[in-house]
Amino acid sequence: MIYGSRMSGLLYLSPYLLGLAVFTLFPFVASLLLSFSDYRLQDPVSAAQIIGFENYQAMLHDRTFGKSLLVTLVYVFLTVPLKLAFALFIAFVLNFRLRGIGAFRTAYYLPSILGGSVAIAVVWRYVFAGDGLLNQAFVLMGAAPINWLGEPAYAMGSIVLLRLWQFGSAMVIFLAGLQGIPTDLYEAARLDGASAWQVFRRITLPLLTPVIFFNFIMQVIQAFQEFNGPYVITGGGPLKSTYLLPLMIYEEAFKYFEVGYASALSWALFVLVALFTALAFRSSKYWVFYAQERGEGDKS
């Protein structure tokens, strides 16, 4: 009987397990193996030679990789705090009990559904193009047009903005976190004479740290993986100023057919993300506050 139910359980899980095996586990293992090979996309796999750590050593001398790594780190360091702050701000505003607040919440969430898509990136490119919407507006107001996508600093700004625009999912999680803070605490703080800023700083923010932590981890991982924005809008340029690592991995594999090297790059990115995540978890005990012990209910 137990055996039977276990089998039927596995059967229900099988579509997911199959997908996991084919699309996650297999590429995961394959890319690790390929990263130690000189496999090129146009050759048969059987022609690939094991070359040990050569790909990883090559990375150390590859100035493009150095540049790409730097650009990626700048991108992550810019987008993650900005996006978290922006999402928290919007969540805070949308947490007020106002008439029609549900409609506002939906409206603010919409960009997140669309924001990551190629279509929006295309729209974005149109907005920031030399004769794009933004410059047309500038000209109308009598200002000189700006070469948004041609100047390295502005180009990075454009793809950072595109990412900020997708604040919805982080915002929804912040909103849930804000709504989980008991109103009694705010009332107690009011009686204690705390100002709105003091309440936010001393009550809301500390109680929100688990949610901030979760959002931080998710945003770091997502930012390291950003591809669509720079690929469609800037193509990594100008002067590789928006050449994020995922873009470099893509080009190494599918433009230069250096799958072995691209795999090694992927693993370098994976280690980087893992490192940042581990650091975040390590630091969490100093700044993340959990109101309850694990497994403890709200018994009194």
Partner 1 sequence: MTRSSVQLAGVSKQFGPTRVLGGVDLRIEPGEFIVFVGPSGCGKSTLLRLIAGLEEPTAGRIHISGRDVTHTHPSKRGVAMVFQSYALYPHMSVAENMAFGLKIQKSPKDEIDARVRRAAGILQLEALLDRKPRALSGGQRQRVAIGRAIVREPDVFLFDEPLSNLDASLRGQMRVEIARLHAQLGTTMIYVTHDQVEAMTLASRIVVLNGGRIEQTGTPLELYHRPANLFVAGFLGSPGMNFLPAQLMSHHSQAVTVGVRPEHVALCTSEDGLPAEVALVERLGGEALAHLRIGGHAVVAKLAGDIALAARDTVRLQIDARHCHFFDGQGNAMTAPA
Q: Supply the minimum distance, in Å, between the C-beta of residue 200 and partner 1.
A: 13
Question: Residue 206, interface with partner 1 (CB under 8 A)?
Answer: yes
Asked if 148 and 154 count as a contact pair (C-beta separation under 8 A), the reply is yes
How far apart are CB 209 and partner 1 at their closest, in Å?
8
CB 179 within 8 A of CB 155: no
- The verdict on 194 binding partner 1 (CB under 8 A) reads yes
Which range, of 68-76, 164-172, 261-269, 284-292, touches partner 1 by CB under 8 A?
284-292
- Stretch of residues binding partner 1 (CB under 8 A), selected from 96-104, 126-134, 189-197, 214-222: 189-197
- Surface-to-core class of residue 11, CB atoms within 10 Å of its CB (0-12 exposed, 13-18 middle, 19+ buried): exposed
- Using the contact rule CB under 8 A, the part of the chain among 129-137, 183-191, 251-259, 267-275 near partner 1 is 183-191
CB of 202 to partner 1, least distance (A): 8
Given 184, 285, 295, 297, the residue binding partner 1 (CB under 8 A): 184
Q: How many CA atoms lie within 13 A of 21 on its CB side?
A: 6
Stretch near partner 1 under the rule CB under 8 A, chosen from 59-67, 196-204, 246-254, 262-270: 196-204
100 binds partner 1 (CB under 8 A): no
Does position 202 interact with partner 1 (CB under 8 A)? The reply is yes
Stated as kind and residue range, the H or E segment containing 168 is: helix 168-179
Q: How far apart are CA 149 and CA 143, in angstroms?
A: 17
- What are the Cα distances from residue 63, in Å, to 58, 74, 247, 268, 296? 10, 16, 15, 15, 52
- Which of 187, 225, 275, 281 lies at the binding interface for partner 1 (CB under 8 A)? 187
From start to end of 31-137, where are the E strands?
none
Q: Which amino acid is at 273?
A: V
Q: Is residue 58 helix, strand or coil?
A: helix
Cα angle 26-33-271, degrees, rounded to a multiple of 5: 85
192 counts as binding partner 1 under rule CB under 8 A: yes
Q: How far is the CB of 286 from partner 1 (least distance, A)?
A: 13
- Sign (positive/negative) of CA torsion 185, 186, 190, 196? positive
Q: What is the Cα Rg of the chain in Å?
A: 24
**Minimal distance in Å, beta carbon 197 to partner 1?**
11
Residue 16 or 197 having the CB closest to partner 1: 197
Q: Which of residues 84, 162, 207, 262 is near partner 1 by CB under 8 A?
A: 207
Residues forming the site for partner 1 (CB under 8 A):
182, 184-185, 187-194, 198, 202-203, 206-207, 289, 291-293, 296, 299-300
